[in-house]
Chains A and B, each alone.
Chain A
Amino acid sequence: MQNNTALKINFNKKFYKLPSIKNAIRDFQNVCKGSVKELERYFLVTLAPKSKSPQDNLGHEFSNYVLALMKNEVLV
């Protein structure tokens, strides 16, 4: 999941939606630079933190944020 600088997270296509992931990347743009790549079963998200300080929970926070966005989209 974690590289030296960039984080890689595999989001299962069956559970996570691409628009929510893209929105999350856009919302996190002040903290990290993100990109998404579509694989066969997963969306591979790469997050490169902008600051040099270690951000242990960035991946966790990002995946939580995607889940929250998905829930909100269902509500709307």
Chain B
Amino acid sequence: MESKVINLNPQIYPLDVIYAAAYVLLDRSYIFIDGNPNKVVKITLTPKEKKDDADNLAQEFNNLLITYAFYNKQSKKNSALRQIMMQAALLSAEKTAEGAEDADKAAPKNIELPEDIKDANFLEDPEGIAVPWEIKYKKSFLGKKLQKETGQTKTKNKKLRKKP
């Protein structure tokens, strides 16, 4: 397999940027780093598969270097702003947490029920108000069952009804 050696200036491309670019190409090529981090960094690229050309990979690597160098620069530039935004978000979260704690404190903890409700048994229904589920939804349940048996849908029924 053909290898390609790229010499990089570490003052232009910091080590973090080189690592990031190398990491992207790890699945397609074998990468070995050597050299002097203060003078020249030597990257050896060897394609894993024959279809990949070492020159093309090197060019791709160079592009990735520029991408990550730009990202690195922007990230450093925006670091102060990012820090402020994070602090603001954390402070607001802290305030909402404090607010929730105050609300908990304000809410009565032990609510005393009236004497007649205390010993009430909700399963009993002396007035006959409660309606069992089966009876309440009996019509719709039977309707669906009928539809299933006859194979007719609601829309079809409506059309049939509209016709004189």
Contact = CB atoms under 8 A, between A and B. Distances in A.
B34 interface: yes
A63 B15 contact: no
Nearest to B10: A14
Interface residues of A, number: 15
B30 A64 contact: yes
- Chain B contact-residue range equals 10 to 19
B15 A15 contact: yes
Given A67-B22, A70-B19, A74-B19, A60 B46 contact: yes
Per DSSP, are chain A's interface residues mostly helix, strand or loop, or mixed?
helix
A16 interface: yes
B83 interface: no
B5 to A, nearest CB: 14
B27 to A, nearest CB: 9
A38 interface: no
B33 A61 contact: no
Interface string A37-63: 000000000000000000001001101
Nearest to B41: A15
Given A14-B36, A15-B15, A68 B23 contact: yes
